[in-house]
Copies of this chain bind each other. A is one copy, B any other.
Amino acid sequence: MSQSKSSGGNFLEDFSAGQILEHATPRTVTAGDVALYTALYGSRFALQSSEIFAQSCGLHQAPLDDWLVFHIVFGKTVPDISLNAVANLGYAEGRFGVPVYAGDTLRAVSEVIGIKENSNGKTGVVYVRTRGLNQNHQEVLSYVRWVMVRKRDEASVIEASPPPVLAGHVAHESILSRSVPDFSNFDCGLSGEPHRWDDYEVGEKIDHMDGMTIEEAEHQLATRLYQNTARVHFNQFAESEGRFGKRLIYGGHVISLARSLSFNGLANAVKVVALNGGRHVAPLFAGDTVFAWSAVQDKAEIAGRDDAGLLRLRMIATKDLPCATFPESDDGKGVILDLDMWVAVPR
C-alpha cells in the first residue's frame, strides 16, 4: 500500500526562504462569479455593475470587483500556505494590476520571503509575496501577507530568515496611471453620489451607516466560490471542539462586506489600486451584524491626470456596533477589520 494520497497541508517545517509555490487550480472567472459576488455583498459600484459605464471609462467591458480578484488569488494560496494557519496576521505592499474581465483565467504564484519561529516553539510566522496572473501572464495583483503556522513537530529546528523590510504603505508616486480608468466622462448621476476627489478632505470621517447580518450559508458559499479550503470556515463538527466553538468567517468576507457598505459615502471610489496594509482585529461569526466607517488619511494627484485622483482610506469594520461615533481598534470590543488602501476617484 502506498502512502496516503491526501494531504494535511504544509507546516512550518515545510517552508524555506526563496521557495516558489505554484498554486493549483487555475480558474476561469465568469459572469456567474460576478452575479454571486453581487448577491453575497450587494455591491453597487457603477464601474463593475455596468458594461456601458465601464466602456465610458475606457475599458472594453466591466471589470471584476477588485476584492473578488483578491479573494480568488488568495483562495489559491490557502492549500499550500495557510491550511494549518493559526491566524492571518497582516498584509502589505498590495497592488492591483491589469483589470480582470469575465473570461480571464487566473492563477497564483507565491514566494516565501521570510520565516521566523515563535518563542513558544509551537508556531512560527511565514511571509509570502503572492502574485495573481492572467492567461497572458500579466499581473492582476500582488501582495505580501504573513500568517502564523503550526509546526508539525515542536522539536523541529527552524532555519529563520527574516523578511525584507516592508513598506508602511504603497507610495502614491509608484501607482501607475494606467491602473486607473479614464474618468473624464464619469457620470455622477449614474454612479450614485456627486462627491468628487476635491470634495474629500484629509481627516474626514464617513459613517457608512448600514449594517448587514451574516449567515453561515452566505460565508460558506463565498469562501467556496473563492476555492478557499481553510478548514475553520466549513467544519462545525471539528470547530465545535475548537477555540471558538463555531465556524470562523473568512476575513476576506469582512473586507467585501465593508467595501460594499462603503458605497454610502464613497460611491465614486470605484477602483481600489493598492492595499497598504490591514489587520483582522477580531473574528466574525454567523449572526453578527457588520458595520463600517472610513477615514480619508491622505490625498494624492496622479501625474499627468486631471480626471482622477487618489484617496488613501482607512476602512474600519465592526460587529454589532454602529459606527456613528467612529470606533477605533483600541476602543475595546467591536472592531473586526482595520484596512488601509488607495482608491481612485474622479476629479
Residues of chain A having any CB pair with chain B under 8 Å? 1-2, 4-8, 22, 24-28, 30-36, 38-46, 49-53, 62, 79, 102-103, 105, 107, 135, 189-193, 195, 199-201, 203-213, 215-218, 220-225, 227-229, 231, 234-238, 247, 264-267, 287, 289, 320, 322
Distance A139 CA – B283 CA, assembled complex (angstroms):
46
Asked if B225 contacts A212 (CB within 8 A), the reply is no
Distance A238 CA – B209 CA, assembled complex (angstroms):
11
User: Which residue of B has the minimal Cβ distance to A52?
Assistant: B105
Distance A38 CA – B223 CA, assembled complex (angstroms):
10
Q: Which of B4, B39, B46, B103 contacts A221 (CB 8 A)?
A: B39
Distance A39 CA – B103 CA, assembled complex (angstroms):
18
Smallest beta-carbon distance A215→chain B, Å = 4
Asked if A50 contacts B26 (CB within 8 A), the reply is yes
Q: Which of B8, B27, B287 contacts A236 (CB 8 A)?
A: B287
Task: List 29 A-B pairs, Cβ < 8 Å.
Answer: A1-B201, A2-B201, A5-B265, A6-B207, A7-B209, A24-B189, A25-B45, A25-B191, A26-B46, A27-B49, A27-B50, A30-B102, A32-B33, A36-B39, A38-B225, A39-B224, A40-B221, A41-B224, A42-B223, A42-B227, A52-B105, A210-B234, A211-B231, A211-B235, A212-B234, A217-B218, A221-B221, A236-B289, A237-B320
Q: Which of B25, B41, B190 contacts A25 (CB 8 A)?
A: B190
Report copies per complex. 3
Asked if B210 contacts A235 (CB within 8 A), the reply is yes
> With A25-B45, A46-B25 in contact, do A193 and B236 touch (Cβ < 8 Å)?
no
Known: A40-B221, A212-B234. 13 other contacts (CB 8 A): A24-B189, A25-B53, A26-B52, A30-B35, A30-B102, A31-B35, A33-B35, A38-B224, A39-B221, A211-B234, A212-B220, A213-B234, A213-B235
Distance A222 CA – B38 CA, assembled complex (angstroms):
10
Instruction: List 5 A-B pairs, minimum CB-CB distance, nearest first.
Output: A32-B35, A24-B192, A6-B265, A42-B224, A237-B289
Distance A227 CA – B48 CA, assembled complex (angstroms):
13
Asked if B247 contacts A52 (CB within 8 A), the reply is no
User: Which residue of B has the minimal Cβ distance to A22?
Assistant: B189
Q: Which of A204, A217, A289 has the most CB of B within 10 A?
A: A217
Residues of B within 8 A of A228 (CB): 42
Distance A239 CA – B247 CA, assembled complex (angstroms):
24
Asked if B50 contacts A28 (CB within 8 A), the reply is yes
Residues of B within 8 A of A213 (CB): 216, 220, 234-237, 247
Distance A166 CA – B140 CA, assembled complex (angstroms):
53
User: Which residue of B has the minimal Cβ distance to A239?
Assistant: B213
Asked if B224 contacts A221 (CB within 8 A), the reply is no
Asked if A4 contacts B107 (CB within 8 A), the reply is no
Residues of B within 8 A of A22 (CB): 189-190
Distance A201 CA – B3 CA, assembled complex (angstroms):
10
Q: Which of B190, B195, B207, B227 contacts A24 (CB 8 A)?
A: B190
